Structure 1
Amino acid sequence: MRNYHLRRLSNQPVIQTSDVKPTIDGFDVLGAFNPAACRVGNEIILLLRVAEAPKARKGFISVPLIEDQDGVPSLVIKHFPEPNEPYDPRIVTIGGKQYLTSLSHLRLARSSDGIHFTIDEKPFLFPARLDEAYGIEDARITFLDGQYWIMYTAVSEHGPAVGLALTIDFKTVERMGIILPPPNKDVALFPQKINGKYMLLHRPMVSEIGKPSVWLAESIDGVHWGSHRFLFGGRGLTNPAFAWEGAKIGAGPEPILTDEGWLVCYHGADATHSYSLALALLDKDNPHIVLDRSEAPLLQPELAWEREGFFPNVVFSNGWIQQPDRGDEPGSIWVYYGAADSGVGVAELVAE
């Protein structure tokens, strides 16, 4: 694999939380981050994760979620007395049941230059099913078969699952439902069939045995998935030099086909929950074969806005764009990344 590195195109975020208006009256936007990315005509489209929460009420915890109301999934807000003991403000356990204190949806942002974005005021995808009751998070976009496939994390009391939606124009969208049951996330669909099959990367979540790892799956229709197999995991358990990916690992945007094979961007997290970005290379015809991986992170949280925010010390990518070729030179790859769950940065992937 060629020697790649990531060069920030801006020392400031291209999108900040303050750039996004709340969807619902009486709510605050807590974060705008982790965008999927694609090119549509002359525009670059980002599909932001926007986390919103009801304005704080003194002495109470307010929980927004989708519940069945007379057979219709509807937004409700529950209020619980604030615990006397310290608690995680993002996720709370009340009466033995866990709740998120914010609700995420997906919001479109558009740009002609990839740096300056106009953000839609209304959601593109808002939680609307009971299996999305706690929110919709961290989408990936792949253009395949003449349409855009949007894979996203659908969160409910049963855990994170993987949902699929399809669009041809980002004006209308069709939900296809859950394609991988909980607990699972970080799904990236390959942009072409391989050996006649749809393929995707995913990350089953583990508990007592094992660590999070990247898996490969196959499908004949893009909806029903099987032939699951382990692809790669974090190396920090056996080698301290890889502590940066020792606690968590997961796939980022859709793989990109290069002359060397399928290029995969992935994230790793260390024991302190600091997230970094790295690359893997998979065989072109047999992507279950890992040809190479980064020996060190390509991007780590270093700038103040990457280290401080709703969830500190995070750079997390689930969207990148191939720029057009320049004569005989292939176009570079722009990597959009969420920073501290509070904004969006962009870096250029450079090969030496």
Structure 2
Amino acid sequence: MRNYKLRRLSNQPILKTSDVKPSVEGFEVLGAFNPAACLVGDEVILLLRVAEAPKAEKGVLSIPLIEEQDGVPTLTVKHLAEPDGDYDPRVVTVHGKQYLTSLSHLRLARSKDGITFDIDDEPFLFPARMDESYGIEDARITHLDGKYWITYTAVSEHGPGVGLAVTTDFRTVDRVGMILPPPNKDVALFPRQINGKYVLLHRPMVSDIGKPSVWLAESEDGIHWGNHRFLFGGRGLTDPQYAWEGGKIGAGPEPILTDEGWLVCYHGADPGHAYSLALALLDKNDPSIVLDRSHEPLLTPELDWERVGFFPNVVFSNGWVQWPDSGKIWVYYGAADSGVGLAELVTD
């Protein structure tokens, strides 16, 4: 694999939480981050993950979620006493039941230059089913068969699963539904069929047996998936050199086909939950064959806005674009669950 590096194009975030308006009256935006990305004509399209919650009240935890009312999934707010002492800012357990402290949706942003974005005021995809009752998170976009396939993490009390929606113009969107049940996430579709099959990367979540890893699956129709195979896992469990991917691992945006093979961006997290970005290279005809992987992370949280935020010490990418004229690859990454940075993938 070529000697790739990720070079920041800005020392400041190109999008901040404060740039995004809340979509619900009485709510505030807690984070705008982890965008999916693609090129549509002469525009860069981002689908931001926007996390919202009711404005804070002292001593009260106001949990936004989707609940059924008269059989209809409806946005509601559950008011609970705030736990004593320190607690996870994202997840809280009350009376033995876990809740997310915010509700995420996908918000569309458009740009001509890939740097300055106009952000829609309304959601592009908002939780609308009970399997999305805790939110829609961390989308990936793949252009395939003349359509833009949007995979996303659909979260409910049953855990995170993988939802699919399809659009041709990013103005209207068709929801396909859940394609991988909980617990699973980090799904990236390949942008073409391989040996007559649709192919995706995914990350089944494990319990005491097994560790986080990236898997491969294939499909005849892009909806029903099988032939699931382990692809690669974090090496930090057995080699301290790779501690940066010893805690968690998962695929990023859709793979890009190069003359060497399929280039895959992935994230790794260390046991202290600091996230970094790295690359893997897969065989172009048989992506179950891993040809190479990064020996060290290409991007780590170093700048203040990558280290301090709603969830600190995170650089996380689920969106990149390859400019057709120059071949340059721009990587959009979420930083500390609070903003969006931009880097370019370069080689020596």
Q: TM-score range by the shorter chain?
A: over 0.9
Shift of 1:325: 2.8
Shift of 1:89: 3.0
Equivalence map 1:299-314=2 (5 Å): 299-314=299-314
2:326 aligned with 1:345 = no
Give 1:66's aligned residue: 66
| 8 Å Cα contact 2:61/2:81 also seen in 1 | yes
Question: Which of 307, 329, 336 in structure 1 is aligned with 2:332?
Answer: 336
Amino acid at match of 2:109: A
Distance in 2, Cα, partners of 1:106 & 1:88: 23
Give 1:88's aligned residue: 88
Shift of 1:24: 0.6
Shift of 1:87: 2.4
Amino acid at match of 2:246: G
Amino acid at match of 2:35: P
Distance in 2, Cα, partners of 1:285 & 1:247: 30
Give 2:120's aligned residue: 120
2:245 aligned with 1:245 = yes
Amino acid at match of 2:298: L
Distance in 2, Cα, partners of 1:57 & 1:43: 40
Distance in 1, Cα, partners of 2:85 & 2:147: 50
Equivalence map 1:274-293=2 (5 Å): 274-293=274-293
Distance in 2, Cα, partners of 1:236 & 1:52: 34
Distance in 2, Cα, partners of 1:307 & 1:191: 33
Distance in 2, Cα, partners of 1:84 & 1:151: 37
Shift of 1:239: 0.7
Runs of 4+ aligned structure 1 residues displaced above 3 Å come to none
Give 1:322's aligned residue: 322
Query: How many residues align structurally?
Result: 348
**SS of the residue 1:170 aligns to:** coil
**SS of the residue 1:28 aligns to:** strand
Distance in 1, Cα, partners of 2:336 & 2:86: 22
Distance in 2, Cα, partners of 1:83 & 1:224: 42
Any unmatched runs of 5+ in structure 1? none
Distance in 2, Cα, partners of 1:317 & 1:204: 18
Distance in 2, Cα, partners of 1:84 & 1:6: 42
TM-score, structure 2 as length reference: 0.99
**SS of the residue 2:216 aligns to:** strand
Give 1:54's aligned residue: 54
TM-score, structure 1 as length reference: 0.98
Distance in 2, Cα, partners of 1:86 & 1:350: 42
Shift of 1:85: 4.0
Distance in 1, Cα, partners of 2:140 & 2:252: 8
Output the aligned Cα RMSD: 0.7
Give 1:78's aligned residue: 78
Give 2:41's aligned residue: 41
Give 2:232's aligned residue: 232
Distance in 2, Cα, partners of 1:314 & 1:104: 18
- Structure 1 residues 85, 305: CA separation in 2 closer, same or farther (over 3 Å shift)? closer
- Structure 1 residues 46, 325: CA separation in 2 closer, same or farther (over 3 Å shift)? same
| 8 Å Cα contact 2:316/2:335 also seen in 1 | yes
Shift of 1:64: 0.4
Distance in 1, Cα, partners of 2:184 & 2:157: 14
Distance in 1, Cα, partners of 2:218 & 2:283: 15
2:268 aligned with 1:272 = no
Distance in 2, Cα, partners of 1:113 & 1:88: 37
Alpha-carbon deviations, 1:211-259, whole Å to 9, x = none? 1100000000000000000000000011100000001000000000000
Shift of 1:210: 1.4
**SS of the residue 1:57 aligns to:** coil
Shift of 1:185: 0.2
Amino acid at match of 1:332: K
**SS of the residue 1:236 aligns to:** helix
Alpha-carbon deviations, 1:290-309, whole Å to 9, x = none? 00000100000011100000
| 8 Å Cα contact 2:89/2:310 also seen in 1 | no
Distance in 2, Cα, partners of 1:58 & 1:316: 31
Distance in 2, Cα, partners of 1:89 & 1:317: 21
Any unmatched runs of 5+ in structure 2? none
Shift of 1:96: 1.1
Identity of aligned residues (%): 79
